[in-house]
A and B are shown apart, each in its own frame.
Chain A
Amino acid sequence: DIVMTQSPLSLPVTPGEPASISCSSSQSLLHSSGNHFLDWYLQKPGQSPRLLISFTSNRASGVPDRFSGSGSGTDFTLKISRVEAEDVGIYYCMQALHTPTFGQGTKLELK
């Protein structure tokens, strides 16, 4: 199984400031198609997860452009350009190259 490791696990952020979450995989997520099979999800308190980004950098429908994803090989990053109150929750990366596995989650909270 591919192991996904996120850091940090806790992320206090001042509203309006940027935030960054890292995700590393135990093996490359590069598919023969040229895409990296890495998704990002946000689970707000009391809600189901919501897809933010697929294939490393493709924002899902309705996701604000302050969210961006990047990376290649085994190292990936989710960036929020300016954190808003509605961004609070737990962020998960997930690889879909093989049977899917999630990272441990990063809890973003406001300072």
Chain B
Amino acid sequence: EVQLVESGGGLVQPGGSLRLSCAASGFSSSGYWMSWVRQAPGKGLEWVANIKQDGSEKFYVDSVRGRFTISRDIAKNSVYLQMNSLRVEDTAVYSCARSVGWSGMDVWGKGTTVTVSS
């Protein structure tokens, strides 16, 4: 079964760090762009970052650039999101998704919850 499973979420204080993981199964994630998309409580979807198949290109939404880093491990068929200097407004469910190009995210994980609060 083609699947994405996120982990690593939790409660963290403002200014803290978390590392999210996204494990792919049933397919090779190295053939796809991989994205992180978040959804704050009661709000809409916000694309956060993506990474090219070979990891050579990475893009970020302005609000996280310089604080978040996306990476991938082909051998582990996984993608990661290192989140530093977390802010209250980063509180959200973070999901990973795959796409062949930038368009058409056709497989999504269920997400992991990040709560930034003192």
Chain A residues with CB under 8 Å of chain B are 1, 35, 37, 39, 41, 43, 48-51, 54-55, 58, 60-61, 90, 92, 94, 96-97, 99-105
Contact = CB atoms under 8 A, between A and B. Distances in A.
Contacts, number: 62
B1 interface: no
Q: What's the dominant secondary structure at chain A's contact region?
A: loop
A97 B103 CA distance: 8
B45 A37 contact: no
B101 interface: yes
Contact of B59 (A55, A99, A104): A99
Interface of B: 35, 37, 44-47, 50, 59-62, 95, 97, 99, 101-106, 108-111
Given A99-B59, A99-B61, A94 B47 contact: yes
26 contacts: A35-B103, A37-B102, A37-B103, A43-B45, A48-B108, A48-B109, A48-B111, A49-B37, A49-B97, A49-B105, A49-B108, A51-B105, A51-B106, A54-B104, A58-B104, A61-B106, A90-B44, A92-B45, A96-B102, A97-B102, A99-B59, A99-B60, A100-B35, A104-B44, A105-B44, A105-B45
